[in-house]
Amino acid sequence: MAADQDPIPFTAGDTRADSATVRKTLAAGQAITLQGRDLATLLNARALGCVGWIQGYPTTATTSEDQVFATEVDVVAGRLYEVSLMNITPDVSNTKQTEFRIRYVTGTASWPDNSSTILAISLRLSQFELGFIRAFYLASVTQRVRFRASIGSLDGKTVRSCLSCVGLVTTAEVVE
């Protein structure tokens, strides 16, 4: 690599940056760019961590659809949220007639119920098959969103959740 080539093209204004330039730029409060993009924007584009989590909810049994648990998060417009239901299994033998669902509502007027919008549905599961659902929610406006995980019987026979290791996780990242 030539001596005048920086392997990571930092710029400060119109000036190519070395470590001394970066220090001066930071001291002056100016923007630093990486490959033409503002560094603050790049750093903010990462996943921002867990914003909602619940674990170890009581066992739920039903012949239709019933809530396993629910959580709510305040979402920010323009962010993508990952909603996951992890490590969940039915513990009543009901061969391939059980599924888990994630539903949601926006605002605080109500909680999701069996008629709320479905965000995700698991594969059909049998007794002790470990389930996992992963879906994305793109926030179009800043507001509160309530998510609900439920277990459903597809044939009207009893299904029951086994929840020793369950969580509903929502993480956020900036969408460009």
Read off the pTM.
Answer: 0.67
Q: Domains of the chain (ranges plus CATH)?
A: 10-44 (no CATH), 50-174 (2.60.120.760)
The mean of the pLDDT values for the chain is: 75
Tell me if 68 sits within 8 A of 149, measured CB to CB.
Answer: yes
Q: Running DSSP on this structure, what letter comes out for residue 59?
A: P
pLDDT, one tens digit per residue, over 89-104 is 777 666 678 888 999 9
Q: Which helix (H) or strand (E) holds 152?
A: strand 143-153
Question: 49 exposed, middle or buried (CB, 10 Å; 0-12, 13-18, 19+)?
Answer: exposed
pLDDT, one tens digit per residue, over 34-78 is 777 777 766 666 556 666 666 666 778 889 999 888 888 888 888
15: helix, strand or coil: strand
- Total residue length of the chain: 176
